[in-house]
Each structure stands twice: as C-alpha cells, then as structure tokens.
Amino acid sequence: MLFYSNIYLFLFLPISLLLFYFHKLLKFDHKTLLIVCGIFFYSWWNYKYVPLILLIIFINYFFALKLTLTKSNKLILFFSILFNILILIIFKYLDFFILNLNYVFGINLETYGLPFPLALSFITFQVIAMLVNCYDKEIENLRLKDFFIFIIFFPQLIAGPIVKFNYMIKQFNNKENQKFNLVCFNLGILLILIGLVKKILLAENLGNFVDYGYENINLLNFYLSWLLTFSFTFQLYFDFSGYIDMATGSALLFNIILPKNFNSPFKSLSIIDFWKKWHITLGEFLTNYIYSPWAKSIKKLNFTKSMMLIIVVFLIAGIWHGPTWCFLIFGLIHGLGLVTNHIYRKNTIFELNTFLSCFITFNFVNLSFIFFRSQNFLEAFSILNNLVNYSRIIEITNNLALVEILDIKFYLIFLSAILISFFGINSNQIFEKYKQN
C-alpha cells in the first residue's frame, strides 16, 4: 500500500484515524488498534510475510526482555544482533552471495529468488539500536505491546525514519496524544500534500526520463548524460524526502512526531555536512551503533585508523542499500569523500567560498548517485564516459520517444527541482514555522 495511492489516502488512513480517535467507544486500547492497522498495512504488500514479521517481533522481544532483566550480557546481545543480521542476509543477500560464488569458483549453484520482505532493512537497524539500548539499560519495564507498536507503526514502517524506542514510546504513552489536536492534524495534512507534490509531480516526471535514459544509454550524448545524472539525483531526493514528508504527516495525524530525516542536503558545503542533512537517522545509526562502538574497541585509535574505519562503515552503508556491487562502490565513494573532507579540514590553510563549496559537494554527490542507480558497472561507466566525451557535445538524437519526454513540462519541473532544492525552504522549516503560529 503506497502512501500516494487512493486506497491509502481515501480508505485506509481515514478509517485508521476514525478507529484511533473513537477507540474508547469501541472499548479498544489505542495501541492495539494501531498494531492491528500496522499488521493490515504490512499484509497488504504480501500477506505471506506476516508470519515472518511476527516471528521477528516475538523473538526480538524475548532478546530485549532478557537484556533488560539481566546484568550486562554481551553473549545475549551478540546472538540477538546475529539473529537479525542472518534474517536480513537470507532474504536480501543470499542470491547475491550465490551468484558471486558461482562466478569466482566456476560453479552453478541455484539461486532461491526469495522476495524481499517489506521494510526488513529498516526494521533490522531499528531493532539492533533498540537491543543495544536494552543492553545499556536505557530501556526499562519493557512491554510486548510497546515493542510491537514500535516495530509495526505503519507511517514509518516502509522506509523509516529509523526511530528510537524511548523517543516513540513516550509519545504513545502520552494520554494527551490520544486526543484530537487540530494543529497536528492540519500540519499533518499539509506535509502529506507536500509529499504528494514531491513524489507525483517532481519525482515521477523526472523518473520517466531517468528510466528511459538508463534503458537507452546508447542514445545518450554529453548533454543528455549530464541531464540524466542531475534528473536522477533530484528524483531520488524528492522521492525519498516526499515519502518522509508523507510518513511524518501521517504520524502527525495520530499526534506522533517522527524525527527529521532530511534538511536541505543539496545546500551542504561539504560531504560531512551532507551526511548531517541526508537520511539523518541513518547517519546517526551508523555513527552511534557502528562507528563509535568500533572506534572505542580499537587500541590507540588515531586519525589514520579512524579514517579507515569511516571507509569500512560506509562500505556497510552502501551494501545495506542493496545487494549489488554498485551499491558497495557508492558506499566506498562516500567513505573516501568523508575521509578527504576530514583530511582537508585538518590540514587546510584556506577556506573555499560558500558557492564553490556547495558546487563541489553537490557534483560529488551527483556523480556518486550514478552507481546508486546503475544496475551494473557497464551502465555506470558508460554514463561516466559520456560525461567527459566532448566529441559528442553537439550530437543530436532524433529519437521520437526521447523528444516527447523532454518537453516544456519536463524542463519546467527540472527547473522547479533546482529552485526548491537550493533556494526553497524545506519541510522542517515549514513544520517549525507552522507550530509557532
């Protein structure tokens, strides 16, 4: 069930809201209703995976309970994290491993072709963070219903943001949040509308050209290749941030505030700055639950070792996005970019002006997204070759389908994407401004 589908906007969401605000008349607990709504929402994608999500919830609740009730037990924490990683590997990476084994050793093992369960990547990171919090005794009096709704709350179920248990449960337990709040409701509707504009008007129209360009790379010249890369960068941003706006807006209708996940990332002046503004909750997870614990375990940690660790962490971040070598390279590029940025900050004797810093950062990110979108290295390197192939600058394609896609509407949308990304206010600023009024 997509956030921008009619069934979500005009049936599922309104019915869920009515049930939520009239739960006392129905003699149901509000958490129970939200759990039922979450399971229904999850089952709409593929009901066959409902037993899997239930298994993940109950087993992780057992682990979490053990971690909260016993003294610091690294063995329980280890096996709980291992369990979640193995589930993710089986459903997301098993075929990737088999294909690479076949290639390296010249064998012919069969792949399993398992469909990827909805939201498994985000659930895995979210649960791991929660288990670590239990181990650190930051979570007490853990109840199954609280853990259940923490996982299955449908507005942030599909693709985040990655939330913390205590942050969410405090809101679910607040009795004031069970009452209708006109400010939250109006702001929620506004954010959903903003998300719809981003997704349907901007991302989907840019995506039409991106899909066609990647399916017909042989038709791309110098100009079209650059246009393709920029189009995908904006498509990805407006698609993901639009989803986050709709998720945030949906949660606000239930008086739940989700953490911000984007903050005008294309205005960033460095790669370090970019990762503080792009997919913010992922960056925080990587820092708090992978980089920092790993860094603390290293004896005589120095600048060189910390930089190597950053690269390893972003290799993990890259492959987390998907089981392909291109995603791994995407992570490596950003890891190297962060290291270069840190080295520059440590040793620089001059500062770049704001415009140049923003220009360099955006183009670095834009080029890295070629690997994010490409299915294989051949696609990626074909596009990269076109970007520097000056001999094809004036080459003109007469392909009718391409001419129809690149009409005045496309260029108006492309220009709008630039203006909004670099000069417009973002959803967080609208949120804060609306709350103050």
Handedness of CA 338, 341, 343, 346 (dihedral sign): negative
Reading the block at residue 378, the tokens are 């051949």
Q: Tell me whether residue 40 is exposed, middle or buried, using C-beta atoms within 10 angstroms of its C-beta: 0 to 12, 13 to 18, 19 or more.
A: middle
Reading the block at residue 414, the tokens are 């492309």
Instruction: Tell me the C-alpha distance between 249 and 210, whole Å.
Output: 28
Instruction: Tell me the C-alpha distance between 305 and 302, whole Å.
Output: 5
Backbone angles phi, psi at 143, to 5 degrees: -115, 145
Which one of 23, 321, 334, 342 is the catalytic residue? 321
Backbone angles phi, psi at 334, to 5 degrees: -75, -35
Active site residue 321: yes
Q: 160 to each of 171, 247, 278, how far by Cα in Å? A: 17, 8, 13
Task: Render the burial of 391-421: b for 16+ CB within 10 Å, e for the rest.
Answer: eeeeeeeeeeebeebbeeebeebbebbeebb
Q: What are the residue numbers of the active site?
A: 321
